[in-house]
């Protein structure tokens, strides 16, 4: 699902965020630069996409780490909603 957020500083635009259930994934805005977010009224609005896993499905991610492998199992739900 795509969300939009009004930004007040370029620093807000450059910050990534994660979801507690899948801290190995990071989310950022769709726009490439802060200037891409500029609206006609002078505000800055950025968009981002979340990961939606439908009811009845799961998704697993396995990553190699320095101490072996780490696997994340995600159940149905929406992941990556930007915290306020």
The position carrying tokens 């396995």 is 62
Q: Does residue 19 or residue 40 have the better pLDDT?
A: 40
DSSP string, 30-82: SSSSGGGGB-TTS-EEEEEE-EEE-TT--EEEEEEETTEEEEEEE-SEEE-PP
Tell me the whole-structure pTM to 2 decimals: 0.85
> How confident is the model at residue 47, as a pLDDT?
98
Across the chain, mean pLDDT equals 94
| pLDDT range class, residue 51, cuts 50, 70, 90 | very high
> How confident is the model at residue 42, as a pLDDT?
97
Query: Any idea what the Cα angle at residue 79 is, between residues 37 and 51, rounded to 5°?
Result: 70
The average pLDDT across 26-48 equals: 97
Q: Where are the domains of the chain?
A: 2-79
């Amino acid at each position: 699902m795509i969300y939009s957020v009004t930004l007040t500083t370029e620093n807000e635009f450059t910050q990534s965020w994660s979801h507690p259930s899948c801290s190995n994934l990071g989310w950022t805005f769709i726009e490439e630069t802060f200037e891409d977010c500029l609206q006609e009224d002078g505000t800055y609005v950025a968009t981002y996409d979340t990961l939606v896993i439908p009811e009845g499905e799961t998704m697993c991610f396995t990553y190699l780490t320095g101490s072996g492998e780490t696997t994340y199992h995600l159940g149905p739900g929406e992941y990556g909603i930007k915290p306020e």
